[in-house]
A and B are shown apart, each in its own frame.
Chain A
């Protein structure tokens, strides 16, 4: 039986004004893009709490894509700079946890750049595919108790 191709799970956090709009247009214009990226809409990339990224990795994401307006074009004027700072530091942290920093990607995609969105989605999917599965739950946390059970050890006199 032939080796099955690895299909990465990717979570994308998209800002409402730029990248989400771009992704929307890309869809409406029937641009070719992989199904691997699951999108979560936030008003601004500045809303993306590193907690969300770690949560995504913990729950099994192989890659996380955070995308917002171009620097200077943020609908909220500065939010995306905060994102830039956070993701830069977060990448450094991920490395310490043995997660390739490339699994977390930050992109600036304006609402006008639907083709860029489609291309980034394709590229990143391939990039993560090349990195291989992360599957945190299934490998790193494999065998660790998650929900504590209550039982009494049998007592032998």
Chain B
């Protein structure tokens, strides 16, 4: 701890802090330009000049670079200081007469006109060097630097030409105080243009995310991109988020982990997958930014979304007409034959929101409305009352006419084709089983029904149990269902799992294999055959032994036993042989 006084005020500071930091912390204003909290101080713009009354280096010094010392006495607004700043701001204003930030700062010091002749009125760069430091110190790309001297001094890539060294991270544009740098890299531009996607390389997945912690998009994050493109040579690029995070919660070293857990029951809740509407070309998804799917509309209408919940078209207008097309990819022989069960209701909810917030004409193009849940039918009626227009007839096609969207459909009510010009189209896509469901099924030894979702043991009586003991299904991995149904289904699965665990014992099927020890010759043919390692070899008695608790009764060992002594309970050789005789004994 050292004690110093600023403007006569005695302050405590820590070794190594700068005068600027201490002053800012105590609410004492010192103007800065080239200073940036995540960049090393440079003192190049000299705007933070203060007067040192007593200290190791008396006189005018830059506060951003001057470390505190015992008994230091500082004046931040002494006449000398004011005079110095006026000179600096005068020069800056003369260089960049039309940059609002500079104009404002100058005005504070009573300068309204550039005191010196201006070379180039369009100049925006004040040569503060923040961008250069960002590119070097943070991004560690070293793509830009100062070139030339004196009046010709400027910032840019070598020879002012495109450079591969630049990774288009955009860090320079972020740190530039005067907006002097523009990103022209295509990919970056797209990245920034994406309306509904994440807005930074580090973000909270969704406003309702639990736990509510940000994640780093390693494809966008400067640090990870640098690590990748330099094959791990540069691993400490940027880290700005870590510098500003006072909790020190940012951890770049987190890795995917594979954990081995011994469990007594497994609940498979691997959920569903969003269908890709682009696979149904008639809806032109992906060809126009205002053709959304349900999820995207959800994001758009979300208060925490990019538009703060305002429903706007991609060019920022309030839509005058919105069409919701039901059953996209569901109840469709070219996609999924099944009904996804949730779309009708979420379409109506979204229509309700759209109507409420935009007052636009909202159309629902449906085949049948399936409002089967508690209060659903009532909600259906309410939305109708609110003036949402329900047209019975599948949305056949979405086309662009002169940049405007047109939905073609048939109104089966009046039996006429229909053409709706709209500003926004929402495709009510349903639910697909995960594309890798087969892998999951194999992992847990469960099977899948024709629709691709996991198969329950019995459609009515064992709707969340599977054929594999101790493995249960919860939610949309078994079939499309909405939230309440999912909660019910999952709770039941959880309860069943708990039942299994609390009982501490399992009921096994009676079809197990049994080896009469007195007959076994110990050839060990069966040993390696059991997928459940239920067969062990008793070295003492030289016989193979079946652990009936592990045995699932497939009978593979029974069929393999060369001495024919393994008994497959309830499927014995005798039982099967007499079946054969009986079947073939009777005349055809």
B588 touches A46 (CB 8 A): no
With A18-B447, A43-B553, A73-B441 known, 7 other A-B pairs at CB within 8 A are A38-B583, A47-B559, A47-B571, A55-B581, A56-B580, A60-B584, A73-B447
Contact of A82 with B560 at beta-carbon distance under 8 Å, contacts A75-B445, A112-B449 already known:
yes
Contact of A76 with B554 at beta-carbon distance under 8 Å, contacts A40-B576, A47-B568, A49-B573 already known:
yes
Sample (20) of A-B pairs whose CB atoms are under 8 Å apart: A7-B588, A9-B588, A17-B467, A43-B554, A43-B555, A46-B556, A47-B568, A52-B577, A55-B580, A56-B580, A56-B584, A61-B584, A73-B447, A75-B447, A75-B468, A76-B552, A77-B531, A79-B554, A82-B556, A112-B447
Complex interface: chain A residues within 8 A of B531 (CB): 76-79
Contact of A47 with B555 at beta-carbon distance under 8 Å, contacts A11-B580, A40-B579 already known:
yes
Binding site for A on B (CB under 8 A): 441-442, 445, 447-450, 455, 467-468, 511, 529, 531-532, 552-556, 558-560, 568, 571, 573, 576-577, 579-581, 583-585, 588
A46 touches B554 (CB 8 A): yes
Complex interface: chain B residues within 8 A of A43 (CB): 511, 553-555, 571
A110-B442 Cα distance, complex, nearest whole Å: 13
A153-B237 Cα distance, complex, nearest whole Å: 107
Complex interface: chain B residues within 8 A of A11 (CB): 580, 583-584
Name the contact of B577 in the complex, choosing from A55, A69, A75, A86 (C-beta under 8 A). A55
Contact with B along A21-47 (1 / 0, CB 8 A): 000000000000000001010111011
A61-B585 Cα distance, complex, nearest whole Å: 10
Complex interface: chain B residues within 8 A of A9 (CB): 584, 588
Contact of A47 with B556 at beta-carbon distance under 8 Å, contacts A60-B584, A82-B529 already known:
yes
Contact of A75 with B467 at beta-carbon distance under 8 Å, contacts A40-B576, A52-B577 already known:
yes
Contact of A111 with B455 at beta-carbon distance under 8 Å, contacts A48-B559, A75-B467, A86-B559 already known:
yes
A55-B577 Cα distance, complex, nearest whole Å: 7
Complex interface: chain B residues within 8 A of A50 (CB): 559
A44 touches B556 (CB 8 A): yes
Name the contact of B581 in the complex, choosing from A17, A59, A73, A86 (C-beta under 8 A). A59
* 4 closest residue pairs by CB, A with B: A47-B555, A46-B556, A76-B554, A44-B554
In the assembled complex, the CB of B467 is this many whole angstroms from the nearest CB of chain A, namely 6
A22-B584 Cα distance, complex, nearest whole Å: 23
Which partner residue on chain A sits nearest B575 by CB separation? A40
Complex interface: chain B residues within 8 A of A51 (CB): 573, 577
Name the contact of B448 in the complex, choosing from A56, A76, A82, A112 (C-beta under 8 A). A112
Q: Taking chain A's interface residues, is the majority helix, strand, or loop, or is none over half, making it mixed?
A: loop
A112-B468 Cα distance, complex, nearest whole Å: 17
* A72 contacts chain B at the CB level, 8 A cutoff: yes
B585 touches A59 (CB 8 A): yes
In the assembled complex, the CB of B107 is this many whole angstroms from the nearest CB of chain A, namely 76
A48-B531 Cα distance, complex, nearest whole Å: 16
A40-B575 Cα distance, complex, nearest whole Å: 11
B-facing residues in A69-96 (Cβ within 8 Å): 69, 72-73, 75-79, 82, 86
A49 touches B580 (CB 8 A): no
Contact of A42 with B571 at beta-carbon distance under 8 Å, contacts A59-B584, A75-B467, A76-B531 already known:
yes
Name the contact of B554 in the complex, choosing from A47, A55, A73, A112 (C-beta under 8 A). A47
B584 touches A49 (CB 8 A): no
Complex interface: chain A residues within 8 A of B581 (CB): 55, 59
Complex interface: chain A residues within 8 A of B455 (CB): 111-112
A130-B303 Cα distance, complex, nearest whole Å: 71
Complex interface: chain B residues within 8 A of A73 (CB): 441-442, 447
Which partner residue on chain B sits nearest A59 by CB separation? B584
Complex interface: chain B residues within 8 A of A111 (CB): 447, 455
Which partner residue on chain B sits nearest A18 by CB separation? B447
Chain A CB within 10 Å — which of B560, B579, B583 has the most?
B583
Name the contact of A42 in the complex, choosing from B442, B447, B555, B560 (C-beta under 8 A). B555
A49 touches B447 (CB 8 A): no
Complex interface: chain A residues within 8 A of B588 (CB): 7, 9
Chain A CB within 10 Å — which of B445, B531, B584, B588 has the most?
B584
In the assembled complex, the CB of A101 is this many whole angstroms from the nearest CB of chain B, namely 20
In the assembled complex, the CB of B566 is this many whole angstroms from the nearest CB of chain A, namely 11
A76 touches B556 (CB 8 A): yes
A73-B439 Cα distance, complex, nearest whole Å: 10
Complex interface: chain A residues within 8 A of B554 (CB): 43-44, 46-47, 75-76, 79
A72-B450 Cα distance, complex, nearest whole Å: 17
Complex interface: chain A residues within 8 A of B447 (CB): 17-18, 69, 73, 75, 110-112
Complex interface: chain B residues within 8 A of A40 (CB): 576, 579-580, 583
Which partner residue on chain A sits nearest B451 by CB separation? A112
Complex interface: chain A residues within 8 A of B529 (CB): 82
Complex interface: chain B residues within 8 A of A55 (CB): 577, 580-581
A42-B576 Cα distance, complex, nearest whole Å: 9
A136-B262 Cα distance, complex, nearest whole Å: 54
In the assembled complex, the CB of B311 is this many whole angstroms from the nearest CB of chain A, namely 42
Complex interface: chain B residues within 8 A of A38 (CB): 583-584
In the assembled complex, the CB of B357 is this many whole angstroms from the nearest CB of chain A, namely 44
A149-B529 Cα distance, complex, nearest whole Å: 44
Complex interface: chain B residues within 8 A of A75 (CB): 445, 447, 467-468, 554
Name the contact of A82 in the complex, choosing from B441, B559, B571, B577 (C-beta under 8 A). B559
A77 touches B450 (CB 8 A): no
A60-B585 Cα distance, complex, nearest whole Å: 8
In the assembled complex, the CB of B514 is this many whole angstroms from the nearest CB of chain A, namely 14
Complex interface: chain A residues within 8 A of B511 (CB): 43
In the assembled complex, the CB of B583 is this many whole angstroms from the nearest CB of chain A, namely 4
In the assembled complex, the CB of A74 is this many whole angstroms from the nearest CB of chain B, namely 8
In the assembled complex, the CB of B70 is this many whole angstroms from the nearest CB of chain A, namely 76
Complex interface: chain A residues within 8 A of B467 (CB): 17, 75
B559 touches A49 (CB 8 A): yes
Complex interface: chain A residues within 8 A of B445 (CB): 75, 77
A121-B580 Cα distance, complex, nearest whole Å: 18
Complex interface: chain B residues within 8 A of A49 (CB): 558-559, 573, 576
Which partner residue on chain B sits nearest A36 by CB separation? B588
A60-B588 Cα distance, complex, nearest whole Å: 10
A50-B584 Cα distance, complex, nearest whole Å: 17
A55-B448 Cα distance, complex, nearest whole Å: 35
A39-B190 Cα distance, complex, nearest whole Å: 62
B579 touches A79 (CB 8 A): no
In the assembled complex, the CB of A126 is this many whole angstroms from the nearest CB of chain B, namely 16
Complex interface: chain B residues within 8 A of A48 (CB): 559
In the assembled complex, the CB of B254 is this many whole angstroms from the nearest CB of chain A, namely 34
Chain A CB within 10 Å — which of B441, B450, B556, B585 has the most?
B556
B-facing residues in A108-156 (Cβ within 8 Å): 110-112
